Amino acid sequence: MTRSSRPGRRSDRQLAFAMPQSDGCRLIAGVDEAGRGPLAGNVFAAAVILAPDRPLPGLNDSKKLSATRRQQCYNEITGSALTWAVAKASVAEIDTLNILHASLLAMQRAVAGLAEQPDFVYVDGNCCPGWDYRSSAVVGGDARLQCIAAASILAKVARDREMVELEECFPGYGFARHKGYPTRDHLAALARLGPCDMHRRSFKPVADLLPGGCSGASV
């Protein structure tokens, strides 16, 4: 763990810091995950409590930023946030719990890792982990709330870094390029080399290559 109705389109300068549900709360955390779709690698989550007096213009959904801009934002967030934490759930936990519940577990770990515990938590998506925090799930939250956008950037950068490191441990799969997502090159390498220890055996393209296959695997 690392410490320290459908909305209309908004520019990054229009991202809100909070929403009415959290009125009156002092410490508001945003939470998001990265890595639900890949065939390999851990799933990451980040929690961030931004400082209201230190705005960070330019925050947006991590998927809408270039790798260079994500790194810049990562440095800005970690340098100015009141507190932040990044956590993960392992490949083994993904295969045991399923990817949704493993993602929620990573979110729980991220919030628990904050140096100060929040009064309210906004979670990207349509459900919150089973915890005691006052919280609200926000569909498309990484494009609506600064605190969630910040969390999405931290989680994405942290996961991408780990996938680059895995390239050295498991050469030939191209993890540094595709980050474990089911690209054509990744599927070709998977068929050629077979699954490695970091492949999610509960995901169908991987399970199909295992002895006997796995009819109950996720897509």
Determine the Cα–Cα distance for residues 22 and 101; give it in Å rounded to an integer: 25
> What integer pLDDT is reported at residue 207 of this predicted model?
96
Q: What is the pTM of this model?
A: 0.88
CB-based contacts of 3-12 (< 8 A; 24+ apart in sequence)? 3/83, 3/84, 3/85, 3/113, 3/114, 3/115, 4/78, 4/81, 4/83, 4/84, 4/85, 4/115, 6/139, 6/140, 7/140, 7/143, 7/144, 10/143, 10/144, 12/57, 12/58, 12/59, 12/60, 12/149
Q: Which amino acid is at 206?
A: V
Percent of the chain clearing pLDDT 90 (strictly above): 77
CATH number at residue 133: 3.30.420.10
Look at residue 161 and tell me if it is in a domain.
yes
C-beta atoms surrounding 217 within 10 Å: 17
> What integer pLDDT is reported at residue 216 of this predicted model?
47
Look at residue 188 and tell me if it is in a domain.
no
57: tokens are 């213009």
**Number of domains forming the structure of the chain:** 1
Residue 54, SS3? coil
Full residue range of the structural domain in which residue 52 is found: 12-167
Look at residue 183 and tell me if it is in a domain.
no
> What integer pLDDT is reported at residue 3 of this predicted model?
57
> What integer pLDDT is reported at residue 181 of this predicted model?
98
Look at residue 204 and tell me if it is in a domain.
no
Look at residue 202 and tell me if it is in a domain.
no
Which helix H or strand E contains 49, and what residues bound it? strand 43-49
Structure confidence at residue 217 as a pLDDT band (50, 70, 90):
low
Look at residue 98 and tell me if it is in a domain.
yes
Structure confidence at residue 84 as a pLDDT band (50, 70, 90):
very high
Determine the Cα–Cα distance for residues 71 and 182; give it in Å rounded to an integer: 24
217: tokens are 């695997």
